[in-house]
Amino acid sequence: MAEPAARPEGTSGGIVIKDDWPGYELDLFSYPAHYCGDLDCVFIPHGVIMDRTERLARNIMDDLGDHDIVVLCVLKGGYRFCVDLVDRIKSLSRNSDRSIPMRVHFIRLKSYLNDQSTEDLHILGAEDLSFLAGKNVLIVEAIVGTGKTMETLLKYVEAFRPKLIKVAGLLVKRVPHNAACLPDYVGFEIPDRFVVGYALDYNEYFRDLTHICVISKSGKMKYKI
């Protein structure tokens, strides 16, 4: 599927999935029957996501162990990744002489219509983040494209004067001009393809997929608004 790679200039440092990666055939995996015909392939299987998430949890433990952390989960797409990442950090803490006391807060960003990002970014649940003052903050996001949305969010969070901000992103897309705002912890660097599943949606559909998949043209048409 993908191979770990050294971090060339301008890349994210995650596991690099190459542009010509075709994905896995759908009939090799289980997925909801109501999405039959709506997907091209399984791009990243659930088990691979879990293994990579555990490695990211270890990296976070190495960097932030023994520090209180406020986890800022970006909804809706980031909730599965956040839950699994926090669970693995907790598991590591239970079996280590280092521990990370954590509290989790949820915010929601909305900037997509169909498969296109819009200029109109809404931040919900972030009206008062004054409790972040002096705290170590870990922002957990499912996917970073151009980085403009993350850049806007970081500026917003920085205004509340946290002690430290780190970002964990499950996916980073290889798109032009995204190197300026990359997450500190990256799961996978992927081609510029529209992916769904593992809580990533297309107009609120496909969040119930376990795997990360590529939506088909017919799927886009079927659920377009």
Domains located in the chain, CATH noted: 52-193 (3.40.50.2020)
pLDDT at 121: 63
pTM for the complete prediction? Answer: 0.87
Q: Consecutive 10-residue runs of the chain (225 residues): their mean pLDDT?
A: 43 84 97 95 98 95 84 93 95 82 86 54 72 93 87 89 94 78 92 95 94 96 93
SS3 content of the chain, % helix, strand, coil (to 5): 30, 30, 40
pLDDT at 6: 39
pLDDT at 109: 78
pLDDT at 8: 43
pLDDT at 208: 94
| Partners of residue 111 on adjacent β-strands | none
pLDDT at 143: 93
pLDDT at 116: 55
pLDDT at 20: 95
